[in-house]
Chains A and B, each alone.
Chain A
Amino acid sequence: MDMFNYTLKRILQMIPVFIIVAVLVFVLIRLIPGDPAKVMLGERATETSLAAMRAKLGLDKSYVTQFLIYAKQLIHFDLGDSIKYNMPVSKLLGQKLMVTLSLTLVSTLFTIILSFAPGYIAGIFKDKLPDTIIRVIALVALSVPTFWIGLMLLTIFAVHWKFFPVSGWGTGILEHIRGLILPGITQAICVSAIMVRNLRNNVVDIRHSDYVDFARSKGISPLRVSTAHIIRNALIPTTTLLALRIASMLGGSIVVESVFTLPGLGALLVNAIYARDYPVVQGVVLLFVVLVMVINLATDIIYSLIDPRVKLS
Chain B
Amino acid sequence: MSVKIKKKSSINPSLLLGLIITSVFVFIALFPSLLTQYDPIAMDSKSMLAAPSALHYFGTDNYGRDIFARTVYSTRLDLLIGVGAMIVPFFVGTTFGIIAGYYGGKIDAIMMRILDIFMAFPYMVLAIAIVAIANAGVNALFISMWLVGWKEYTRLVRSEVLVVKNAEYVEAAKVLGYSDFRIITRSILPNVLSSAIVYGASDIVMCMMSGAAMSYLGLGVQPPTPEWGAIISGGKAFLGVAWWIMLFPGIFLVLSGLGFSLIGDGLSDILRQKGR
Residues of A within 8 A of B (CB): 17-18, 20-21, 24, 28-29, 31-33, 139-140, 142-149, 151-152, 154-155, 159-160, 166, 247-248, 250-252, 254-255, 258-259, 269-270, 273, 281, 284-285, 288-289, 292-293
Contacts and interface: CB of A to CB of B under 8 A. Distances in A.
B117 A17 contact: yes
Interface in B240-264: 240, 243, 246-247, 250, 253-255, 257-258, 261-262
B86 interface: no
Interface stretch (B87-95, B100-108, B127-135, B170-178): B127-135
Contact of A146 (B205, B213, B219): B213
B122 A288 contact: yes
Nearest to B240: A159
Contacts of A251: 122-125
Contacts of A145: 209, 212-213, 229, 250, 253-254, 257
Closest 3 pairs between A and B when the two form their complex, measured CB to CB: A251-B122, A143-B257, A251-B124
B239 A292 contact: no
B257 A255 contact: no
A294 B216 CA distance: 30
Given A142-B257, A288-B122, 17 more contacts: A21-B117, A21-B120, A24-B117, A33-B133, A139-B262, A145-B254, A146-B209, A147-B213, A155-B243, A155-B246, A251-B123, A252-B122, A254-B124, A255-B213, A259-B236, A281-B129, A293-B120
A32 B128 CA distance: 11
A142 B122 contact: no
B121 A292 contact: yes
B248 to A, nearest CB: 11
A41 to B, nearest CB: 20
B236 to A, nearest CB: 7
Interface in B51-95: none
B44 interface: no
A142 B243 contact: no
B138 interface: no
Contacts of B113: 17
Q: Is the interface of B mostly helix, strand, loop or mixed?
A: helix
Contacts of B236: 151, 259
Q: Is the interface of A mostly helix, strand, loop or mixed?
A: helix
A154 B246 CA distance: 12
A138 to B, nearest CB: 10
B217 A255 contact: yes
Contact of A32 (B132, B240, B255): B132
A28 B117 contact: no
A155 B239 contact: yes
Given A142-B205, A152-B247, A269 B133 contact: no
A131 to B, nearest CB: 14
17 contacts: A17-B117, A33-B133, A139-B265, A142-B202, A143-B254, A145-B253, A147-B213, A147-B216, A148-B250, A149-B250, A151-B235, A151-B236, A155-B240, A159-B240, A166-B239, A255-B216, A293-B120
B122 A270 contact: no
A289 B119 CA distance: 9
